[in-house]
Structure 1
Amino acid sequence: MGRRTPKKKSREIYNAWNQTCWIKGVTVNPMVTLEYNEWWSRRVNDNISRPNLEEARSIEEYLRVVPSELEIIKQDFKKKTSELEKKIEQLEEENVYLKLDVDL
């Protein structure tokens, strides 16, 4: 009795698989009708999802760069500093008016 090596095992599996596929091809193909092929292609194509145009975005939106957290923080900081500078100017003006009132 000879030993079955892994190479022989894999060849046996390969041959068995090929034989099964060959048998399926021989037995199934002559039985398939034109109507079945048309039905199958419609069925397959119906299962393919179509893009939803309502949710579609333009190319510009896809290519738009999303700012990083650091950039967002910088923008917020600039806004707050400009607001504070305006408040400081207002307070300085009020201070000047108050000094003028005191001098009178």
Structure 2
Amino acid sequence: MSNAWNQTHRMKRLAVGPMTTPEYNEWWKLEVEKLRKRKNKAKEDLDSLKTDYKKLRLSMRITGLGKTSEQWHEEIREEKNKADRWERKF
């Protein structure tokens, strides 16, 4: 019984060793490099998008497009009041 266990154990140990070829190692290095380049490109694209978003938010704030609905309602009320005053005046 213990002899059978030793044989199985030895076979497992043989199968665990490195099973790659030099060609596979070279291919894997190339794949890793491709992935690294894609990751860097994605990071650059994300940074560019963040910059564009900040510029857009700034321009929206400057032009007033970034107001909340409550701010718009308040501005409309003010404009209506101004129009009413002008109508009463003339």
TM-score category by the smaller chain?
0.3 to 0.5
Using CA pairs below 8 Å that are at least 6 residues apart, which structure has the higher relative contact order?
2
TM-score after normalising by structure 2: 0.45
Larger radius of gyration: 1
TM-score after normalising by structure 1: 0.41
